[in-house]
């Protein structure tokens, strides 16, 4: 067997192992649930239980699910954010290097702020006009979505 055939076989076996391991991990971690809009997907990870419970008791519970606030609403940016968060969360929880209580990243906070303004634009425009500065919604309303 020449070197080219060995390289092709080695590549096929390696790719097969990664595909198999990745597929099993996706199945075991209920990866399909993260592609949905079901808020229960967020509590697949035990660390999210306090946020989920607080959301269920918030005023937003009847009008917004997790994705409504925490992901962009356009298809490609939404799944880009979901993929980025999923990769980061998987790495953090697998390696155990995360702080408790968990904290929102600056990029995800920008997404939340944009979604606040998307839903409440009539109010935020009036407030911005009065104050003449770029105010942060979460600066005053930190507990609105989760009440904690």
pLDDT (tens digit, 9 = 90+) per residue, 29-77?
777 788 888 888 888 777 788 889 989 988 888 999 999 999 999 999 9
Q: Which two tokens stand for residue 33?
A: 């649930």
Q: Which CATH architecture has domain 41-140?
A: Orthogonal Bundle (1.10)
Using CA atoms, how far apart are residues 112 and 123, in angstroms rounded to an integer?
16
Residue boundaries of the structural domains of the chain: 1-35, 41-140
Using CA atoms, how far apart are residues 17 and 75, in angstroms rounded to an integer?
31
pLDDT digits (tens, 9 = 90+) for 71-101: 999 999 999 998 898 888 878 878 888 787 7
pLDDT tops 90 at residue 20: yes
| Residue 131 · residue 108 · CB < 8 Å | no
Provide the pLDDT for residue 135: 77
């Amino acid at each position: 067997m020449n070197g080219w055939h060995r390289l092709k076989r080695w590549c096929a076996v390696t790719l097969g192992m990664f595909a198999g391991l990745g597929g099993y991990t996706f199945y075991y971690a209920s990866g399909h649930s993260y592609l949905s809009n079901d808020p229960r997907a967020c509590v697949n990870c035990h660390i999210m239980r306090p946020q989920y419970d607080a959301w269920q008791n918030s005023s937003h519970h009847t009008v917004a699910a997790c994705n409504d606030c925490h992901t962009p609403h356009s298809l490609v940016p939404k799944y880009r954010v979901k993929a980025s968060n999923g990769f980061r969360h998987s790495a953090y929880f697998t390696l155990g290097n995360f702080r408790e209580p968990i904290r929102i990243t600056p990029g995800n906070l920008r997404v939340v702020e944009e979604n606040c303004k998307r839903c409440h634009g009539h109010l935020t425009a009036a407030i911005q006009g009065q104050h003449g500065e770029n105010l942060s919604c979460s600066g005053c309303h930190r507990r609105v979505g989760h009440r904690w």
